[in-house]
Amino acid sequence: MTIPVEQLSDPAVRAFVAALNANDQEAFRAALAPGATMSDDGTDRDLDEWTEKEVFSSRGHMEVESQKADGRDLVARYRNDTWGEMRTRWRFTVEDGKVARFETGQA
């Protein structure tokens, strides 16, 4: 069972997931706060490099299985052309309606 993107509780997270799934780099950047940061499996990464490699050039896609913390803590099946599909957790920090930080890793 997955949660449709339009039913995600937090508007900033909803915009982030919708842009990621549409492979829309402009909308994705618009969902992020200036200076946004991220980590993958506990290690901080360069957001632009990571998203280019793990999302845009490899056609990343999230199927959200559950949400907690008012929609800012997701478990999703994430897939891309590089790694295939894996179960992942995504935690978001939202400031002024934009994603200021996200942390992802295997769930």
Structure tokens belonging to residue 83: 């790694």
**35-48: per-residue pLDDT in tens?**
999 999 999 999 99
DSSP H helical ranges for the chain: 11-22, 25-31, 47-51
From first to last of its 107 residues, the chain has per-residue pLDDT tens of: 899 999 999 999 999 999 999 999 999 999 999 999 999 999 999 999 999 999 999 999 999 999 999 999 999 999 999 999 999 999 999 999 999 999 999 99
Phi-psi region of 97 (alpha: psi -120 to 50; beta: other; left: phi over 0): left
Retrieve residue 96's tokens: 């002024």
Q: What percent of the chain has pLDDT over 70?
A: 100
- State the Cα–Cα distance between residues 48 and 85, nearest whole angstrom: 22
Kindly report the pTM of this predicted structure: 0.96
Residue 13 CA neighbour count, 13 Å, CB half: 26
